[in-house]
Every structure is written in structure tokens, then in C-alpha cells.
Structure 1
Amino acid sequence: MAMLNYSFDLPSDFMGYEWEVTAKGCFSGARITVGGKQYRLNFYDAARLGQEIESELESGNVFFEPNLVIVRSVTKEEMERAVEDLVRFGLVVSLAPE
């Protein structure tokens, strides 16, 4: 299967606060552009995702997060690897464009 052309974009100053994002365990400021469509991705690590789900359920709400991507740790390297997998395995078709 041919690799689709795509771009993965983080805020230009991301490296300055990556440690904070990693500690927080979530980040929604990343975007991927594939085939002329742009998608905002919501990255979580498993621990933070569990906290978010529990918090929403305890509040009587449902948990819903479009374009949810779970990574081992919310770092630039892990997010880039996840995006590469989304493209390589054709999972981009399941994302909701902006």
C-alpha cells in the first residue's frame, strides 16, 4: 500500500512546553492534514483518559471525544508515531474532519 502524503502539525512553540503536556497526559492542539482535509487530534495517555472518563461519568455525563488517539505517553515522538500508524493502516478514514 502506498503511503499517503500527510502533514502533522504541532504549535510552533510546542517544544517549549512538551514536558507540561506529557505530565498532564492529554493534548488537543495537534492537527493532521491528509488528502486536503484537516483533522484535530485529541491525544491522551491511558491514565489521564481513565480519569477523564471517570470524571464525566460521575458528573452524570457521557464521555465523548472525537478523533481520540491513545498513546503510551503524550510526547512529540509518540504522537508522530501514532499519526504515522493512522496513515499507514488507513485509519484516517475514521477521523472526523474539521
Structure 2
Amino acid sequence: MIDIVLEFPAGFEDSDWEVKAKGWLPGVVAVIHGLRYALTVYSPARLAQDVDEALKDSRVFLERNLVVVASVTRERIASAIQEIVETGRVGDLQPDP
């Protein structure tokens, strides 16, 4: 069994419906095999909006440890992290120093 712990930002439980509607959640931490990964989770629609907005003022959009899920919910995030681990893609994430 793979050791994965997810830590959600304070207050997430009280505003999970709002997070889902916004399509964006920074500050999710995945602890995988004892290493911590700070993640930013987006829905595809919100990501497209933020990329478009960023490119109006800059030539680049960059987000460390970006995870895109169909809907920004606890279940989808947990499933995505499980898939990242099971498919050996943890190496694509950068652990916290």
C-alpha cells in the first residue's frame, strides 16, 4: 500500500462548494513516502481563464506542481494524486525543500 496523506487548506471543509465553483485551490499538500509536495489544483476551465489573463500582461504562465482535475473536489484531488503515484509520475512533481 502506498503511503499518501492529503492536507487541505484551513477552512476547506466549510467552503468546498465554493472551491468547486471557483475551480482553483492552492495550498493542497500531498505527503508521499514522507516527502511533502505543495500543489495548486485547477479545473480545465479556470486554468484556461488564468492562462489567458496572465498572457495579457506577460509572455508566460508558470505554476509549480500544477494538477488539473475535471472538478476541484476532495474526491477528484485524492483520485488524481493516487493516479500520479500509481503511474510513477511522482517524479514530475517537485518536493518542498
TM > 0.5: yes
RMSD: 1.3
Query: Which residue pairs with 1:6 in the alignment?
Result: 4
The reply to whether residue 38 of structure 1 matches residue 28 of structure 2 is no
Aligned counterparts of 1:35 and 1:77: Cα–Cα separation in 2: 20
Q: Which residue of 1 aligns with 2:94?
A: 96
| Cα distance, 1:11 vs structure 2 | 3.2
Counterparts of 2:78 and 2:34, CA distance in 1: 19
**Equivalence map 1:5-84=2 (5 Å):** 5-11=3-9, 13-84=11-82
TM-score normalised by length of structure 2: 0.91
Q: Which amino acid aligns with 2:12?
A: F
Q: Number of residue pairs matched?
A: 96
SS state of the match for residue 82, structure 2?
A: helix
Deviation of residue 31 (structure 1)?
0.6
Unaligned runs of 5+ in 2: none
Please list every run of 5 or more consecutive structure 1 residues that lacks an aligned counterpart in the other structure. Answer: none
Structure 1 length-normalised TM = 0.90
